[in-house]
Amino acid sequence: MEHLCKAIPAILDRAAMPRVLGIYLLLTVGAAACLGADFWEKKPYKEWSQKDCAKMLEDSPWAKTLTLTKVEIMADETAANATMGSGQQPYVKYQAQFRTAAPIRQAIVRQMQLAQKYDSLPPEQKQEFDKKVEEFLSTGSPDAIVVHVTYMANSQTNELELARHWQSRTTDSLKNSVYLISSKGVRVPLAQYAVAQGGQHEFQFIFPRQYDGKPILGPDDKSLKLEFAYPIVDTMGDGRAFMEFKVQKMTVGGKTEF
């Protein structure tokens, strides 16, 4: 009997081993998936840090930065081969965001929350803030896709020329040079151009969500490319810029956001 009593725990352990191993593997896989998830999948936007917001707005599935070098932005070879007084090479940066994508709007609101110390506000002030931004967060654009673009140069002269160029553009002048392109090659032309005046170096390209009676993105599309013409410094000519966004990564909760 004593030998049998000693053997019972071992028998139970062997019998339970497959179940215990299964639970362990499930927990391990779940933990790995969680560690591999992006911050917008792991936590609600009200818990995003300033760093999280910057990442979302500058380098995420919905936001890309394009840096054009001196050779790409300057037609004059002598100017292109020269450095600025600081020793830096001249460059221009364009940053594009899908403003109609919910995660981008959430990052904008979260930045406002952090600026106003939302997390430490009393409940009634939080409710007031939430009410003010509710429409911005919840109201998508069923008919339009808004791509918000900012630009800058590390040369004041080049930046002034860029500002003059983009502030003088119109929808008519850009409609044959700005496109959203699906991975199947469907080229959707610009529907509307809106530019900020004054000292703000930004504008918006607005596209329809349907083209030729069909959604611009099909179930098999893997990417969206933004194509636009940019000015080359000291010349009337333009360069061509392409910024690619991976559709598979632009998904939140099973829904493609753009």
User: Where are the domains positioned within the chain?
Assistant: 1-36, 59-99+140-256
Q: Which comes out higher in pLDDT, residue 86 or 135?
A: 135
Confidence of residue 35 (pLDDT cuts 50, 70, 90): low
At residue 71, the pLDDT reads: 53
pLDDT the model gives residue 75: 46
User: Phi/psi at 205 (nearest 5 deg)?
Assistant: -100, 130
How much is the pLDDT for 233?
66
Closest Cα to residue 204, out of 192, 190, 194, 213? Answer: 194
Q: Give the model's pLDDT for residue 69.
A: 81
Span 147-183, pLDDT tens digits: 999 999 988 888 998 999 999 999 999 999 999 999 9
Decide: 149 and 190 in contact? Cβ < 8 Å: no
Alpha helices in the chain (DSSP H): 2-36, 39-42, 50-58, 70-73, 77-81, 102-115, 123-138, 156-167, 171-174
Contact 236, 168 (CB under 8 A): no
The pLDDT of residue 220 is 87
Helix H or strand E encompassing 224:
strand 223-231
Residue 86 pLDDT > 70 = no
Name the nearest CA neighbour of 70 among 59, 81, 56.
81
- What percent of the chain has pLDDT above 90? 55
Q: What is the CA radius of gyration of the chain?
A: 26
Tell me phi and psi for residue 66, to 5 degrees: -115, 125
Helix (H) or strand (E) holding 194: strand 192-195
Give the residues across from 93 on adjacent strands.
67, 152
Quick: pLDDT tens for 102-143: 999 999 999 999 999 999 999 999 999 998 888 888 876 789
Q: Which residue has the higher pLDDT, 146 or 87?
A: 146
Top mean-pLDDT range of 4-13, 123-132, 156-165, 204-213: 204-213
Whole-number average pLDDT of the chain: 82
Position 80 pLDDT exceeds 80: no
Angle between helices 50-58 and 102-115 in degrees, nearest 10 = 140
Q: Write down the pTM of the prediction.
A: 0.79
